[in-house]
Amino acid sequence: MTAPQSAPAQLAIVAHDLTRRFGNFTAVDHITFDVKAGEVFGFLGANGAGKTTAIKMLTGLLAPTEGDAKVAGLDLKTETEQIRRRIGYMSQRFSLYEDLTVLENIALYGGIYGLTNKQISERSSAMLDTLGLRNELVSQLPLGWKQKLAFSVALLHEPAIVFLDEPTGGVDPITRRQFWEMIYAAATRGTTCFVTTHYMDEAEYCDRISIMVDGRIAALGSPVELKQQWGAPSIDDLFVRLARPS
Amino acid sequence: MISTLAAFMTKEVRHILRDRQTLTILLLMPLVQVVLFGYALRSDVRDVRLVIVDPSPDYASLALRDRFEAANRFRIVGVAPTMKAVEPLFKQGRADLAVSIDPEFAPRLESREPAHILIAVDASDPNTGSTMQAYARAVIMSYEQEIEAQKKQPLQITPQVRMRFNPTLESVNLFIPGLIALVLTLVSALMTAISLSREKERGTLEILLVSPLRPWQIIVGKVLPYLGLAFANVLTALLAAWLIFHVAFRGSVTLLLVESIIYSMVSLGLGVLVASLTNTQRVAMLVALLVTMLPSTLLSGMVFPLASMPRILQLLSNIVPAHWFIVIARGIMLKGVGLEHLWRETLVLIGMTLVFMAAAVKSFKARVA
Amino acid sequence: MRILRVLLRKEYLQIFRDKLLLRQMILAPFIQLIVLSSAATFEVKTARLYLVDRDQSTMSRGLADKLTASRRFKVVGAAASMTPANEALLARRAEMILNIPPDFERDLVRTRSASVQMIFNAEDGALAGVTSSYAQQIIAQYAQDLRASQSPSISASPAIQLRTRGWYNQDLDYKHYMVPGILVQLLTLVGTMMTAMNIVREREIGTLDQLNVTPVPRSAFIAAKLVPFLSIALVEFIIGLIIARWLFGVPMIGSLTLLFFCTIIYLVVALGLGLWVSTIVHTQQQAMFVSFFLLLIYLLMSGLFTPVRSMPQWAQWMAELNPVKHFIVIIRSILLKGATFTDILRPLGILVLSGTIVLTLAVRQYSKRAA
C-alpha cells in the first residue's frame, strides 16, 4: 500500500471535461488534460482562476459537477478511497496541527497511512535531519519551515502522486529555491508532482505546464514548446497575453 | 471628532445589514424563544393524578371522593384499599398524590373524634409537590367546613382572598419579564462580544487603535449600532407578550421601553467587556455565554424566588443585571408603578452600563500603551 | 484499529494542551454546579405580613398572633388604613396584607360570622396560592379555637386530622431535585457545544481537509471525535455526583452502575447532536449560535425548571422527543426513588433510539467529499 508503483498506465492523471459550478458561477469549465507519471506538472493561473477548485476535485475533496478523471489509474468518482491511499496533499493554507509537535504530526499521518512504527521512526529522524528541525510545537516554527514540513509530511507515505497547492506562497526566495529542489528530488524518485502556483517564473522548473484563465485551460504543453508556439519571451509574458480580456 | 465616530458607526451598521443570515437569526431567535418558552414554561399545576386509598368506604369517604372528582385540578387515576398500591405508581411516575382516608371515617366524624387523613405526595419535585399538597388540603378543608356548618353553633371566619398584580394567577405573568430579560441579554451580549472579538482576531482592531479614534469612541461605536437591533428585539418581545400572552401592561409603556433600552445597553456593554478581555472569538463566545446564561436564569429571580436563596447568593444576585431589570419590568407591567418606585433600580442599570464600558476602555488603553 | 488509536492520541493531546478549553470544560461547570445548586430552591420562607387592624380588639389581635405564632408569617408593619399597606406591597416590603374590618369582634359575637381580607402579591401565583392556603388553615383553626373556648363540649381540634408526607424527599429539599438536573444541564452544554465547535474549528483552519484527503474511514473519524469528549464528560459526571452527594446530600438510592450505563447512552446522544450541528454550519460563530439555540430549547423544555406536565399538550409531545427530558427523568428516578431497570425502561428505550438515529444521521451527513 505504501510503495510507489510506477502506475500501470503511463498517465498519472487523466482529466476529461472536468467541470465545477457553484450556483450560477462556473469555477472550472470543462478542463481536459493529462499528467505523465513521474513528471513535474505546473498548474498555473491567476488567483481565482479555478486552480484550487480543480485540485480539490482531483484529490476527492470536492465533487465534480460534470466530467470525469482518473487519478493513479483509478476512477475519481467510484474508487475515491483507493485513490486516497496513493496520493499526498499539501493545501494552500497550512494544515498541519499547530498544537502538536513535529514528531506527533508525523506519527499521526504515518499511522493513518499504515506505516509501521519502525518506518515512522526512521522517516521521522530522516525528516528532522533533512529539514534541520528540532522536535518542537509546530506553532513555534517560522513560515518557511512549516511549509517544508507540510510538504515532507505529504510525501511521508511515498505516494505515487503528490498535489501541492501554492506551496511557495509567502516564503522568501531562498526557501522557494529549496522547495523546488525538494520537488525535483521527489520527482527523481518517481513521484508525480502536480503543483499549482501563480508565480509564472516557477513554470520554467516544470516538465509541462497548463495555464488556466477564467476556469478554462488556455495553454498546455512544455514551457519551451509554449514559448515557441506563442512567440513569447517568457511564460510570464505568455500569461499576460492570455489573461488579457479579449 | 464626531464625524470620525459617525463614519465608524456607519461602517458597523453596514456590516450588520450585509450579513443577512446572522441578522435573521438575531431578529428571529429572540422572538421564537419568547413565544416558545412563554407557551411552554408554566409552573401552574394542573391535572394532578390522584390515588384514593379508602380501606372501608362509607358515605363520608364517598362524599369526600366526590369533592375530589368535582375539583377540576384533580384526576382520580385509581382507588386502592391500601397504600401498598401507591408505591409502584409513584415510582413509575403514574400518580402524583395519594389521599389515604381513615378506615373509620364516618363513625369518627359522627362521634366528634378526630378522623385521620394522610396526604402522600410525590415530592421529588418539591415545588409542585407542595402546591399539590396545598390543593388537596384546600379540598379537604372545604369539606371540613361543610361538616362544621352542619353542626350547631357554627362560628365562621371567612377569609376573602385577593390576588394582586396577577388576578389570573398564571405563571406566564411571572415568567415573561424574566424571559424577555434573558433573551435580550443573550443576544445583545453575544452580538457585541462576537463583533469585537472578530476584529481582534482578524487584526483590524489594531488599525482602529492607531487611528484618530479614541478608545472610548471605538467602544461606543461598537455598542450603539447594535442598540438598534436590540431595540427591535425589545419591541417584538413586548408585542409578543402583549398580543399572544395577554400579559398585563399596567404601567407606562414608554417607561418600559426606555428601561429596556438601558438594559440592552448593559448587555451590549457586557459583551464588549468580555471581548476586550479575551483573545479569540471562540473564547469570547464561550465566556459571554457562561457569564450571561445561567446567572440570568438562576440568579436573577426569574425562576427561583430570591427570597428563598442563601444570603450569599442573594448578595450575588445584585451584580446580575437581569435581576434589576426583572424588578423594573415586573413593577411596570404587573404593578403599574412608575419611576418614583424604580429610580433606584434604574440608576443601578445605568451605573452598570458605565462601569462595563469604562472597564472595556481601560483594557483597550492597556493594549495601546 | 490502529487508525482509531492514532486519531484518539491526537485528539487527547490537543485537548489537554488547550489550557483555556480545559478550564472551561472542567472548572466552569463545577463552579456553576455549586453556585447554582445553592440558588435553586422554591422554599417558602416566612411571608412578610402588613397588618391593617381596624378593630383593635382581643379577637383581632388573637388572630394576628395566631398567624405570627405559626412562624410562617411575620408582621413587618401595622397601620390603621390601607394606604401605607398598599404602598408596602408595591414597594416589595411585604408579601401580604391582612385587613381586619372595624366590626370584627362585634360581628363574631353577635352573628357568629365575620370576614377578613387577605391581599397577596401574586406575581408568583403558585407561591401566593401556597401561602394563602396556609393562612386559611390557620384562620380556620383560630375559628375552631374560638368555638372551643365558648363551649367546653366542643374540642379545639378540627374534625379532620390532616397529616402530610412528602415521598422521596422527606424534607422537601429542593437541592435533591435540582442538583441532578443542573448537572445534566451543564454536561449537555459542555458536551454538545464542545463537540460541535471542535469539528467546525478544524474545518475553519483547514486541518479537516488534510484529514479528508487521507484514507481515514468516516466511522473512525467520528469515533475519534466523540470518544474523548465522552470520556471527559463521564469523568465530570462522576465528580459532579460526588459533589452532589457530599456537598448537597443528594440521596443515591438506586443503582449507580445502572445510572452510569444510562449516562453513557445519553452522552452519545448529546455529543452526536453536536456532531450533527457541526455538519450544517460553516463557522465557529454559527456553531455556537445554532448549538446554543438548540440547547436552550432542549434545556428549558426538559422539565428542569418547570414541570413538563404543566406544559400545553403540544409542548409535552415535544418533550417526548427531548433526550434531556428523558435523562432527567432517569437520573431522578434512580437517585431519588431507587428505580430499577424495568422502571426506567421507557425513557431509556427512547434514549437508545435517539442515539441510534442521531449517530446514523451524523455519519450519513458527514462526507469527506463536499457535494
Predicted confidence band of residue A7 (pLDDT cuts 50, 70, 90): very low
Predicted confidence band of residue C156 (pLDDT cuts 50, 70, 90): low
- B151: phi then psi, degrees, rounded to nearest 5: -75, 165
Residues C370/A20, Cβ–Cβ less than 8 Å: no
C36 vs A19 pLDDT, higher one: A19
In the three-class reduction of DSSP (H, G, I as helix; E, B as strand; rest coil), residue C93 is classed as coil
Q: Which residues of A touch C4 (CB under 8 A)?
A: none
B166 vs C123: CB contact, 8 Å cut-off?
Answer: yes
For residue A18, the cross-strand partners are A31
Residue pairs between chains B and C whose CB atoms are closer than 8 Å: 316
Please give the model's pTM, rounded to 2 decimal places: 0.79
Q: Is the pLDDT of residue C223 over 60?
A: yes
For residue A106, the model assigns a pLDDT of 94
For residue B20, the model assigns a pLDDT of 78
- B158: phi then psi, degrees, rounded to nearest 5: -100, 115
List the single range of A68-77, A214-223, A227-236, C307-316 with lowest mean pLDDT: C307-316
Burial degree of B348 (CB within 10 A; 0-12, 13-18, 19+): buried
Q: For residue B33, what is its C-alpha cell?
A: 424563544
Number of Cβ atoms within 10 Å of the Cβ of A8: 9
Q: For residue C287, what is its C-alpha cell?
A: 456553531
For residue C30, the model assigns a pLDDT of 83
Q: Is the pLDDT of residue B52 over 90?
A: yes
Chains touching A (at least 3 CB pairs under 8 A) are C
User: C207 — contact with chain A (CB < 8 Å)?
Assistant: yes
The mean pLDDT of A111-117, rounded to a whole number, is 92
Q: Which residues of A touch C369 (CB under 8 A)?
A: 60-63, 80
Please tell me the distance in Å from B195's CA to the nearest CA on chain C: 10
Identify from B111, B282, B299, B302 which residue to disrupt to test chain C contact, counting C C-beta atoms within 10 A and taking the largest count. Answer: B282
Please tell me the distance from the alpha carbon of residue A71 to that of residue A161, in angstroms, as a whole number: 8
- B297: phi then psi, degrees, rounded to nearest 5: -85, -45
For residue C160, the cross-strand partners are B115
**Interval B5-46: pLDDT, tens:** 888 888 888 888 887 777 777 788 788 888 888 887 777 777
**Interval B243-252: pLDDT, tens:** 888 887 888 8
Q: For residue C292, what is its C-alpha cell?
A: 446554543
For residue C137, the model assigns a pLDDT of 83
Q: Is the pLDDT of residue B176 over 90?
A: no
Q: Which residues of A touch C368 (CB under 8 A)?
A: 60-61
Please tell me the distance from the alpha carbon of residue B241 to that of residue B38, in angstroms, as a whole number: 8
Of B144, B145, B299, the CB nearest to C39: B299
For residue A107, the model assigns a pLDDT of 94
User: C309 — contact with chain A (CB < 8 Å)?
Assistant: no
Please tell me the distance in Å from A130's CA to the nearest CA on chain C: 23
Which of A169, A191, A178 lies closest to A94 in space, CA to CA?
Answer: A169
Of A56, A59, A111, the CB nearest to C6: A111
Predicted confidence band of residue C169 (pLDDT cuts 50, 70, 90): low
Identify from C7, C214, C282, C367 which residue to disrupt to test chain A contact, counting A C-beta atoms within 10 A and taking the largest count. Answer: C214
The mean pLDDT of C113-134, rounded to a whole number, is 84
ipTM: 0.85
C306 vs B41: CB contact, 8 Å cut-off?
Answer: yes
For residue B99, the cross-strand partners are B52, B119
Q: List alpha helices for chain B, DSSP H.
A: 2-18, 20-40, 59-70, 86-91, 105-110, 126-150, 171-202, 204-209, 215-243, 253-277, 281-298, 311-316, 321-330, 339-368
Identify from C133, C183, C340 which residue to disrupt to test chain B contact, counting B C-beta atoms within 10 A and taking the largest count. Answer: C133
Residue pairs between chains A and C whose CB atoms are closer than 8 Å: 75
Q: What strands lie across the sheet with A11-22, from one edge to the other?
A: A25-36, A11-22, A66-71, A74-75
Q: Is the pLDDT of residue A1 over 50?
A: no
Share of chain B above pLDDT 70, in %: 97
List the single range of C15-29, C108-122, C184-198 with lowest mean pLDDT: C15-29
User: C102 — contact with chain B (CB < 8 Å)?
Assistant: no
Share of chain A above pLDDT 90, in %: 62
Share of chain B above pLDDT 90, in %: 12
Q: For residue C145, what is the nearest residue in chain B, using CA coordinates? A: B155
For residue A163, the model assigns a pLDDT of 95
C6 vs A59: CB contact, 8 Å cut-off?
Answer: no
Within 13 Å and on the Cβ side, how many CA atoms surround A192? 25
Of A59, A62, A97, the CB nearest to C207: A97
**Interval B301-334: pLDDT, tens:** 887 777 777 777 888 888 889 999 998 988 888 8
Q: Is the pLDDT of residue C171 over 70?
A: no
The mean pLDDT of C40-62, rounded to a whole number, is 85
**Interval B56-93: pLDDT, tens:** 898 888 999 999 988 888 999 989 998 888 888 887 77
Q: Is the pLDDT of residue C323 over 80?
A: yes
Q: Which residues of A touch C17 (CB under 8 A)?
A: 99-100
Please tell me the distance from the alpha carbon of residue C132 to that of residue B137, in angstroms, as a whole number: 12
User: C215 — contact with chain A (CB < 8 Å)?
Assistant: yes
Q: Which residues of C touch A76 (CB under 8 A)?
A: none
Please tell me the distance from the alpha carbon of residue C305 to that of residue C181, in angstroms, as a whole number: 9
For residue A3, the model assigns a pLDDT of 44
User: C124 — contact with chain B (CB < 8 Å)?
Assistant: yes
B20-40 vs B171-202: helix axis angle to the nearest 10? 160
The whole-chain average pLDDT of chain B stands at 83
Of C89, C124, C296, the CB nearest to B174: C124
CA dist C302 to A187, C207, C317, C326, Å? Answer: 61, 36, 11, 8
Q: Which residues of B touch C172 (CB under 8 A)?
A: 123, 126, 129-130
Q: For residue C193, what is its C-alpha cell?
A: 457545544
For strands C96-100 and C73-79, give the pairing: unpaired
Q: For residue B151, what is the nearest residue in chain C, using CA coordinates? A: C154
Q: Is the pLDDT of residue A6 over 60?
A: no
Please tell me the distance in Å from C2's CA to the nearest CA on chain B: 32
Q: Is the pLDDT of residue C275 over 80?
A: yes
Please tell me the distance in Å from A63's CA to the nearest CA on chain C: 5
CA dist A73 to A12, A36, A41, A226, C214, Å? Answer: 7, 11, 17, 27, 18
**Interval B267-282: pLDDT, tens:** 988 888 888 888 777 7
CA dist B1 to A93, B210, B364, Å? Answer: 40, 15, 19
Of A60, A93, A95, the CB nearest to C369: A60
Of C9, C209, C213, the CB nearest to A84: C213
Which of C59, C152, C43 lies closest to C103 in space, CA to CA?
Answer: C59
For residue C154, the model assigns a pLDDT of 62
Of A62, A96, A111, the CB nearest to C3: A111
Would you list which residues of chain A are within 8 Å, Cβ to Cβ, of chain C?
A: 56, 59-63, 80-81, 84-85, 87, 89, 91, 93-97, 99-100, 104, 107-109, 111-114
A93 vs C205: CB contact, 8 Å cut-off?
Answer: yes
Please tell me the distance in Å from C198's CA to the nearest CA on chain A: 13
The mean pLDDT of B251-259, rounded to a whole number, is 90
Chain A touches chain C, with at least 3 Cβ pairs below 8 Å, answer yes
**Interval B177-212: pLDDT, tens:** 888 888 788 878 888 888 888 888 777 887 887 788
Residues C8/A106, Cβ–Cβ less than 8 Å: no
**Interval A144-202: pLDDT, tens:** 889 999 999 999 999 999 999 999 888 888 989 989 999 999 999 999 999 998 888 88
Identify from A57, A82, A94, A95 which residue to disrupt to test chain C contact, counting C C-beta atoms within 10 A and taking the largest count. Answer: A95
C128 vs B307: CB contact, 8 Å cut-off?
Answer: no
Predicted confidence band of residue B217 (pLDDT cuts 50, 70, 90): confident
B42 vs C312: CB contact, 8 Å cut-off?
Answer: yes
User: C157 — contact with chain B (CB < 8 Å)?
Assistant: yes
CA dist B163 to B83, B130, B205, C122, C295, Å? Answer: 37, 19, 55, 5, 36
CA dist B113 to B106, C145, C159, Å? Answer: 10, 16, 7
Please tell me the distance from the alpha carbon of residue C22 to that of residue C29, in angstroms, as a whole number: 11
Of C112, C125, C306, the CB nearest to B170: C125
Please tell me the distance in Å from B364's CA to the nearest CA on chain C: 22
